[in-house]
Structure 1
Amino acid sequence: MIYPIVVYGDPVLRQRAKEIPTGTDLKQLVGDMFETMYAASGIGLAAPQIGKSVRLFVVDGSALEEEPDMEGFKKAFVNPVMLEELGTPWEFEEGCLSIPNIREKISRKEKLRIRYYDEDWNLHEEAFDGMKARIIQHEYDHIEGKLFLDYLTPLKKRLLKGKLSDITKGKVDTEYRILAPKK
């Protein structure tokens, strides 16, 4: 099932998502999230972006062919805990399915360690770096109620105010279905 993407202005994007009870059957939801992400040409999708305030996100970086080491980087992260972010911060232009048609340079640390369950409730603790780390950090922010806009300067946020207001009202062109809070 392909869900509409919840866009900027919806309160669910600003809430810290709730833990998922251990053992919950997530196969259908994870499958639906991957399907929704692919339909929107995304490389990551967090549950709050489909209106579900739970600690779950999916990633698939294989579309980033120009990035080394991305093939097979397809995972579901259930109840993840960020253990460590380290290394030199680096800037890269990010976008977000919940903030369509806006891309900005965001600085993030280059490495991380994270503990999470997969959709079968197997526990993992892994380290990631480079683009993999960036994708995970972006999606992890979603389950913490944070958006990439939060990293921008006050001036940059003011300059985007009109576009963000239009997104909240659903006045934005996307190739995927959206759910706007003030439409």
Structure 2
Amino acid sequence: MKLPILAYGNKTLKVDCDAIATNSDDLNKLIDDMWETMEHAYGCGLAAPQVGETIQLFVVDSIVMYENADIDERKANFIEGDEGMRETFINARIIGKSDETWDEIEGCLSIPDIFKRVTRPWSITIEYLDRDFKAHTKTFHGTTARIIQHEYDHIRGVLFIDRLSAFTKKLIGTKLKKIMSGKIFTDYRMKQ
């Protein structure tokens, strides 16, 4: 089922989310609904608070980014042998970040039509449970690491615009007000 995506200004987007204690049919349904919602909105990641659930859950699909990149973008944004991945992250915790950083344009389904450069570590190491509650510790690089960090921020109540300078935030202030007032158009359902 396609869920409405919360728009910038909704207080749920600023919540530091709770850990998930156990797997359940309700959790599996939510995960399925999040994948469907993200794909319908042509996203590459979606976090539970974006659909109104304040739990440590997000989904990431960097395969779509790899497939839509030209050869030069693939070389610049993916390490050799990395063609992206699709994964569900439960109770994720970033345990390592590279000193090497890079700037890239980011956007967010909760903040439509705003795209800005954000500086993030090139690689991260993260511990998480997959949708079967199997534990993983993995290192991701480039675009995949960026998407994971963006979604990880969501479960901590941080939006990508929180990482922008005060000057840049001022420049996008009018657009943010339009989003908060519902005066935006998207191909997917938004909720204030």
Aligned partners of 1:19, 1:168: CA distance in 2, in Å? 28
Q: Is structure 2 residue 39 aligned with structure 1 residue 38?
A: yes
Task: For residues 78-115 of structure 1, give each alpha carbon's deviation from its aligned partner in whole angstroms, at most 9, with x where no partner exists.
Answer: 01011011131100000000000000000001010000
Aligned partners of 1:150, 1:23: CA distance in 2, in Å? 32
TM normalised by structure 1 equals: 0.95
Which runs of 5 or more residues in structure 2 are unaligned? none
- Among candidates 142, 155, 160, match of residue 148 of structure 1: 160
Aligned partners of 2:150, 2:165: CA distance in 1, in Å? 18
Question: How far is 1:29 from its partner?
Answer: 1.1
Work out the number of aligned pairs and report it. Answer: 179
Q: Is structure 2 residue 40 aligned with structure 1 residue 24?
A: no
Q: Is the 8 A contact 1:70 1:132 kept in 2?
A: no
Would you tell me which structure has more helix in proportion to its own residues?
A: 2
Task: For residues 16-73 of structure 1, give each alpha carbon's deviation from its aligned partner in whole angstroms, at most 9, with x where no partner exists.
Answer: 01111133342211111000000000000000000110000001112111235234x0
- Among candidates 58, 83, 91, match of residue 70 of structure 1: 83
AA of the residue aligned to 2:62: G
Q: Is the 8 A contact 1:86 1:112 kept in 2?
A: yes
Q: Is the 8 A contact 1:7 1:98 kept in 2?
A: yes
AA of the residue aligned to 2:13: L
| Map of 1:100 onto structure 2 | 112
Aligned partners of 1:39, 1:122: CA distance in 2, in Å? 27
| Map of 2:56 onto structure 1 | 55
Aligned partners of 2:92, 2:159: CA distance in 1, in Å? 17
Q: Is structure 2 residue 91 aligned with structure 1 residue 79?
A: yes
Question: How far is 1:143 from its partner?
Answer: 0.2
Q: Secondary structure at the match of 2:172?
A: helix
| Map of 1:172 onto structure 2 | 184
Which runs of 5 or more residues in structure 1 are unaligned? none
Aligned partners of 2:24, 2:112: CA distance in 1, in Å? 32
Q: Secondary structure at the match of 2:161?
A: helix
| Map of 2:128 onto structure 1 | 116
What CA RMSD, in Å, does the superposition of the two structures yield over aligned residues?
1.0
Aligned partners of 1:158, 1:29: CA distance in 2, in Å? 36
Q: Secondary structure at the match of 1:171?
A: coil
Q: Secondary structure at the match of 1:78?
A: strand
Structure 1 stretches of 4+ with a deviation exceeding 3 A read none
Aligned partners of 2:57, 2:8: CA distance in 1, in Å? 19
Task: For residues 91-143 of structure 1, give each alpha carbon's deviation from its aligned partner in whole angstroms, at most 9, with x where no partner exists.
Answer: 00000000000000000010100000011110001000111100000000000
Q: Secondary structure at the match of 1:92?
A: strand
AA of the residue aligned to 2:150: H
